[in-house]
Amino acid sequence: MGQTPDRQHGVGDEEGIDFEQVATSPTVNGQQRYKTAVGFRFMDEGVEKGLGIQTVEHQTLRQLIHLAEEGGPWDGFASGAFEEQLPSGSPFPTSSIWYTNATKTSKIVQELVTYNANKTINTDQWTVFATDGVTPLLTATDTFTYSGVVMTSRTRVLT
């Protein structure tokens, strides 16, 4: 094995930091710990702080990138989410709404589609809702342009 720049065999302590998973928070200023199920934590001026968003928080973000891309809720959302597509049985649905459950009282995300006469998509609108299931957080509306049945461009408006 070759020698490292410090002339010692193997990896030296100054070449990396190894964090063990622990169940306790840091207790003194400057201390860093990898707290099990929470992630990196550190103590600064007597206050425990985290580094960025944690995995569980990230999974439950109500952002279109998380919900539209995957076709509805996945990890981090409660089991039992319910999707309704209308008109029922249509090969060209105009709405797809994900609810927290089958009572359909609290929306998570909805997609509304309009079609051209040749059944190509004219507009595709996604709206993500706050945890109250009623308040829209963001709406993204795509409008498509075609040459015959081949899409040539898309314009996205965020509101």
User: Domain ranges in the chain?
Assistant: 13-52, 61-158
pLDDT confidence of residue 138: 85
What's this model's pTM, rounded to 2 decimal places?
A: 0.60
Q: Contact 21/33 with Cβ under 8 angstroms?
A: no
Strand-pairing partners, residue 34, are 21, 40
105 token code pair? 């009282």
CATH fold of 61-158, please? Lipocalin (2.40.128)
Query: Tokens at residue 52, please?
Result: 């960025």
Calpha distance 61→67 (Å, rounded): 9
The strand pairing partners of 86, in sequence order, are 95
**Edge-to-edge order in the sheet of strand 47-50:** 21-22, 32-35, 39-44, 47-50
Q: What is the pLDDT along the chain (159 residues), one digit of tens a residue?
A: 555 555 666 655 555 666 666 656 666 666 666 665 556 666 666 665 565 555 444 444 555 555 666 667 766 677 888 999 999 999 999 999 999 999 999 998 899 999 999 999 999 999 988 889 999 988 889 999 999 889 999 999 988
Q: Are 76 and 66 in contact (CB under 8 A)?
A: no
Distance of CA 90 to the CA centre of its chain: 29
H or E segment and range at residue 99: strand 95-99
